[in-house]
Structure 1
Amino acid sequence: MGIIVSILVLSFLIFFHELGHFLAARIFGVKVLAFSIGFGKQRLWKKTIGDTEYSIRPIFLGGFVELKGQKDFDPKNRDYSPDSLYGISHIKRIIILAAGSLFNLLLAFLLFLCVAFIGHNDLAPVVGNVDKDKIAYKAGIIDNDEIIEVNGKKIKTWWQLSKIVEDSNGENLEIVFLRDNKEYVVNIMPQIGDSKNIFGEDIKRALIGISAKGEIRTISYNFLESIEYAYFKTIQSSKLIVQGIERLIIGVLPTSEIGGIVSIVTITKQASESGIVMLLAFAAMLSVNLGILNLLPIPALDGGHIVFTTYEMIVRKPASVNAIYYLTICGWVILLSLMILGMYNDITKLLNGSLVF
Structure 2
Amino acid sequence: MPTPIAFVLIFGLLVFVHELGHLIFAKRAGILCREFAIGFGPKVFSFTKNETVYTIRLLPLGGFVRMAGEDPEMIEVKPGQMIGLKFNDKDEVNKIIINNKDEHPDATVVEVERIDLEHKMFVEGYEASSEEGRLERFTVSDTSFFVNDGEEVQIAPYKRQFGSKTLGQRAMAIFAGPMMNFVLAFFLFAIIGVFQGYTVDKPIMGEITSDGAAQEAGLQEGDVVKAIDGESVSSWTDVVSKVVKHPGEEVTFDVERNGQAEEINVTPKSEKRGEETVGVIGVYQPVEKSFFGAIANGVTETLTWTKEIVLTLGKLVTGQFSIDMLSGPVGIYVSTEQVAQSGFYYLMKWAAALSINLGIVNLLPLPALDGGRLLFFLVEALRGKPIDRQKEGIVHFIGFALLMLLMLVVTWNDIQRFFVQ
Q: RMSD between aligned alpha carbons?
A: 3.5
**Partner-residue secondary structure (3-state), 2:361:** helix
Alignment of 1:62-81 (within 5 A): 62-71=62-71, 81=158
Indicate which of 292, 296, 306 corresponds to 1:238: 306
2:187 paired residue number: 110
- In structure 2, C-alpha distance between the alignment counterparts of 1:86 and 1:316, rounded to whole Å: 15
Q: CA deviation at 1:81?
A: 2.1
Cα offsets for 1:278-307 (capped at 9, x unmatched): 011000001101111111111101111111
1:17 paired residue number: 18
- In structure 2, C-alpha distance between the alignment counterparts of 1:239 and 1:93, rounded to whole Å: 27
> Would you say 1:85 and 2:153 are equivalent positions?
no
CA contact (8 A) 1:34 1:65 kept: yes
Alignment of 1:219-234 (within 5 A): 219-234=287-302
- In structure 2, C-alpha distance between the alignment counterparts of 1:246 and 1:217, rounded to whole Å: 30
2:343 paired residue number: 275
**Partner-residue secondary structure (3-state), 2:158:** coil
CA contact (8 A) 2:312 2:321 kept: yes
- Assess, with a 3 A threshold, how the Cα gap between structure 1 residues 66 and 161 changes in structure 2: closer, same or farther: farther
Counterpart residue type for residue 141 of structure 1: I
Q: Which has the larger radius of gyration?
A: 2
- In structure 2, C-alpha distance between the alignment counterparts of 1:241 and 1:49, rounded to whole Å: 37
- Structure 1, unpaired ranges of 5+: 130-138, 163-176, 185-199, 201-209
1:8 paired residue number: 9
Cα offsets for 1:11-45 (capped at 9, x unmatched): 011001111111111111111100011101x1100
CA contact (8 A) 1:82 1:88 kept: yes
Deviation >4 Å, runs of 4+: 77-80, 120-129, 158-162
2:380 paired residue number: 312
More helix by share: 1
Indicate which of 397, 418, 421 corresponds to 1:329: 397
Q: CA deviation at 1:313?
A: 2.1
> Would you say 1:249 and 2:317 are equivalent positions?
yes
- In structure 2, C-alpha distance between the alignment counterparts of 1:146 and 1:225, rounded to whole Å: 26
- In structure 2, C-alpha distance between the alignment counterparts of 1:70 and 1:99, rounded to whole Å: 17
**Partner-residue secondary structure (3-state), 1:342:** helix
Larger RCO (alpha carbons 8 Å, 6+ apart): 1
**Partner-residue secondary structure (3-state), 1:44:** strand
- In structure 2, C-alpha distance between the alignment counterparts of 1:315 and 1:14, rounded to whole Å: 33
Alignment of 1:1-357 (within 5 A): 1-40=2-41, 42-71=42-71, 81-119=158-196, 141-142=228-229, 149-150=234-235, 158=237, 179=255, 181=257, 213-216=281-284, 219-321=287-389, 323-351=391-419
- Structure 2, unpaired ranges of 5+: 74-117, 120-155, 206-211, 214-225, 242-252, 263-273
**Partner-residue secondary structure (3-state), 2:367:** coil
CA contact (8 A) 1:248 1:255 kept: yes
- Assess, with a 3 A threshold, how the Cα gap between structure 1 residues 122 and 273 changes in structure 2: closer, same or farther: farther
- In structure 2, C-alpha distance between the alignment counterparts of 1:251 and 1:64, rounded to whole Å: 32
CA contact (8 A) 2:40 2:61 kept: yes
TM-score normalised by the chain length of structure 1: 0.73
CA contact (8 A) 2:198 2:294 kept: no
More strand by share: 2
CA contact (8 A) 2:198 2:289 kept: no
